[in-house]
A = this chain, B = another copy of it.
Amino acid sequence: MEKIKRKRGTEGATMEDIAAATGLSKMTISRVFSGTGSVRKETRERVIEEADRLGYVYNALAGNFSRGKTQLIGFGVRFDGLLGSEYFAGIYRGAQNRLAKEDLRLIPLDTSSREYQNGENLMSLVAQRRVDGVMILAPLEQDELIVNQTFEEAPMVVVGAQPSHSSISWADMDNVHAIECLVDHMVSLGHQKIAYIAGPEQVSDAVTRGRAFIDAIKKHGLELPPEYIANGGFHYSIGRLAAKQILSLDDRPTALIAANDLSALGAMDMIKELGLVPGKDISVAGVDGSYMAGEVTPALTSVVQPLEQLGARAAELLIEQMQGDTSVVGTQLVRGELKAKESSGNVS
């Protein structure tokens, strides 16, 4: 590897150096390394050989500037609350894997920060050309305005929620289907009295699940006393409390469905604490297919969210938008899969 001298503190060979060394033009070198356009096989090999000899490395910074793209996609996520979750991780992985095929990379942006709430962050990041597009994870209702604004500025997709603005692309789990699966499952085990632990009201998926539960119960012609619906807020400790409350009812249900695994796990803990056996004395199920659902004893019946798939679909919707000239709007509803475990069993 020879050393090359250059002005302004730069080191390393450039395409121009290779051009000079091979007698070709800069453009041919560019074609070789960017994979664009066609280059004769011999030529390509000669270029690559010379590049190796000179220790050339492609300068993405220059390429991106010239192209006017950063190859970066902002991934909006609430650092406070969502960043360390399996939910985030699964979707992020799925999206990143899909985007990698287009040489795109995700960069997490904090939607719980003040700057985001002002709309400063996301919008200016787009405007300043720091990201080419934006993917937003499970925005809350209160984020609606910012989502809509960002959408005006750049290619955007929402994942894990369904935005009210009808021309925004989104990918989400089929929450109705998930809840139907669980209710059907419980009913097929003979359960008639099924209680529900709801999720937080600001989370649209949770609201959807709550409505779906009521509908599913009605569909089966079952009764649903108001006391059978408790608030769990997606938390373990609240799931515990909700279970305690429900178990103390005179007309105790035989099955318990929670809006997510965490509250289901809390409920199960309380059930055990009260000397009852989950899956025997009372059946329990949740939504998520979380790590803990498989770790506890008895294992928790749950509808597994297809997180990676969800992320990948969202990525595809975004890519469509970035490639198509017209702003294509796409939506994806992905179905989860029921994994029945020991926490749910025949009615006793």
Which chain A residues have a beta carbon within 8 Å of chain B's beta carbons?
9-10, 57-62, 64-65, 68-70, 72, 79, 83-90, 92-93, 96, 105-108, 110, 124, 127-130, 235-237, 240, 266, 269, 272-273, 292, 295-297
Determine if B273 and A297 form an interchain contact, defined as CB atoms under 8 angstroms apart.
yes
Determine if B237 and A295 form an interchain contact, defined as CB atoms under 8 angstroms apart.
yes
Q: For the complex formed by this chain, how many copies does it contain in all? A: 2
Determine if A129 and B269 form an interchain contact, defined as CB atoms under 8 angstroms apart.
no
24 A–B contacts, CB within 8 A, in A order: A10-B68, A57-B128, A58-B128, A59-B128, A60-B130, A61-B65, A61-B69, A61-B70, A62-B65, A65-B65, A79-B89, A79-B92, A83-B88, A83-B92, A84-B87, A84-B90, A92-B108, A93-B110, A105-B107, A107-B107, A108-B108, A269-B269, A272-B272, A273-B297
State which of B69, B106, B128 has its C-beta within 8 Å of the C-beta of A108.
Answer: B106
Determine if B236 and A295 form an interchain contact, defined as CB atoms under 8 angstroms apart.
yes
Closest CB in chain B relative to A151 CB, distance in Å: 18
Chain B contacts for A237, CB-based, 8 A: 295-297
Chain B contacts for A266, CB-based, 8 A: 295
Closest CB in chain B relative to A278 CB, distance in Å: 12
A61-B130, A83-B92, A236-B295 known; 13 new pairs, CB 8 Å cut-off, are A9-B68, A59-B128, A61-B64, A61-B129, A84-B84, A84-B85, A84-B86, A93-B110, A105-B107, A235-B295, A272-B272, A272-B273, A273-B297
Chain B contacts for A85, CB-based, 8 A: 84
Determine if B60 and A79 form an interchain contact, defined as CB atoms under 8 angstroms apart.
no
Closest CB in chain B relative to A49 CB, distance in Å: 19
State which of B10, B68, B79, B296 has its C-beta within 8 Å of the C-beta of A93.
Answer: B79
Chain B contacts for A108, CB-based, 8 A: 92, 106, 108
Q: How far is the CA of A56 from the CA of B87 in the complex (A)?
A: 38
Determine if A83 and B89 form an interchain contact, defined as CB atoms under 8 angstroms apart.
yes
Chain B contacts for A58, CB-based, 8 A: 128
Determine if B57 and A127 form an interchain contact, defined as CB atoms under 8 angstroms apart.
yes
Chain B contacts for A57, CB-based, 8 A: 124, 127-128
Closest to A294 in B: B237
Chain B contacts for A295, CB-based, 8 A: 235-237, 266
Chain B contacts for A269, CB-based, 8 A: 269, 296-297
